């Protein structure tokens, strides 16, 4: 079995992310959750907070580690002895962007494959951005993120 890297902003990590990671642990020897610095998305949490949240939520998965990164994804993947980049697809609208990323990554590092997993049906609509918006407006996010994440969001939003 090979190692995989699952990159994302994870601002915050959601139940959809966790479901995909759990499924990936059955397919790969080790899954590195790569938390991207990515300030262009104007994250609610800084990278260290997102890494800590994800590590806390995923602590019971023996074959999963959580690491922050701010370099080229294919370089990060190589340094973590992985040969697969794992990406989740929620809807057809995700595919075009993800297809472009996969093509660029293949061009930069032909020895690294990108594998897509479709999101579980119950999480197809779920995104970190929507979770934050619902939370900002006082809505109930208990079905979307773990308890630890709810606590962190409440602290951050006041």
Domains and CATH numbers, the chain: 3-157 (3.40.50.620)
pLDDT given for residue 115 in this prediction: 97
Integer Cα distance of 95 and 87 in angstroms: 10
Q: Residue 158: pLDDT above 90?
A: no
Could you give the residue numbers annotated as active site?
Answer: 17, 41, 90, 128
Partners of 89 in the β-ladder: 118
CB within 8 A of 73, min separation 6: which ones? 5, 7, 34, 85, 105
Average pLDDT, the chain: 94
**Residue 93 binned pLDDT confidence (cut-offs 50, 70, 90):** confident
**Residue 90 binned pLDDT confidence (cut-offs 50, 70, 90):** confident
pLDDT given for residue 39 in this prediction: 65
Q: Residue 139: pLDDT above 90?
A: yes
Residue 86's φ and ψ, nearest 5 degrees, are: -100, 130
Of 33-42, 43-52, 87-96, give the range with the top mean pLDDT: 43-52
CB within 8 A of 80, min separation 6: which ones? 3, 5, 32, 34, 67
């Amino acid at each position: 079995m090979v190692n995989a890297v699952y990159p994302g902003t994870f601002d915050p990590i959601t139940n959809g992310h966790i479901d995909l990671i759990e499924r990936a642990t059955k397919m790969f020897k080790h899954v590195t959750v790569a938390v991207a610095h990515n300030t262009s998305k104007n994250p609610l949490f800084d990278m260290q907070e997102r890494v800590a949240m994800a590590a806390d939520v995923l602590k019971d998965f023996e074959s999963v580690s959580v690491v922050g990164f701010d370099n080229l994804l294919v370089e990060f993947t190589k340094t973590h002895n992985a040969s697969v980049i794992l990406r989740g697809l929620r809807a057809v609208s995700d595919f075009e962007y993800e297809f472009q990323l996969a093509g660029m990554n293949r061009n930069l590092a032909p020895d690294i494959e990108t594998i897509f997993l479709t999101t579980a049906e119950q999480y197809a609509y779920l995104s970190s951005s929507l979770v934050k918006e619902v939370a900002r407006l006082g809505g109930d996010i208990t079905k979307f993120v773990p308890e630890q994440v709810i606590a962190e969001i409440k602290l951050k939003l006041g």
